[in-house]
Amino acid sequence: MSETDLAEAVRQELRGVMDPELGINIVDLGLVYDVEVEDGHAKVTMTLTSPGCPAGGQILMSAQHAAEAAEGIEKADVNLVWKPFWTPDRIDAATRAMMGF
């Protein structure tokens, strides 16, 4: 499997990680900024809806476990960033419509 295919497999696994407050997965919420894969090692760059997110630790741990569950991935690191800051504009268009935005 190519590294591009592996990165897509990681994204698919990350769709199983839900924001517990909103009930929407972190990919469709636009929290996942980038997924890179090299030699079976995934690097996920993501953010949270706010710096004070009470479920932040849980979401990050779940994201790491999900990434490591992708076929062909041996290890994953999840890097939390605050720039660019998350806004509702990052939500997937179909999800935004479902939410009434």
pLDDT of residue 101: 78
Distance CA 100, CA 5 (A): 32
Lookup: tokens for 74: 């041996």
- pLDDT tens per residue, range 32-52: 999 999 999 999 999 999 999
Mean pLDDT of the chain: 95
Question: How many Cβ atoms are within 10 Å of 22's Cβ, its own excluded?
Answer: 15
Task: Give tens-digit pLDDT for 47-78.
Answer: 999 999 999 999 999 999 999 999 999 999 99
Domains in the chain, please, with CATH? 3-87 (3.30.300.130)
Residue 1 has pLDDT above 90, yes or no: no
Enter the tokens of residue 9.
């497999």
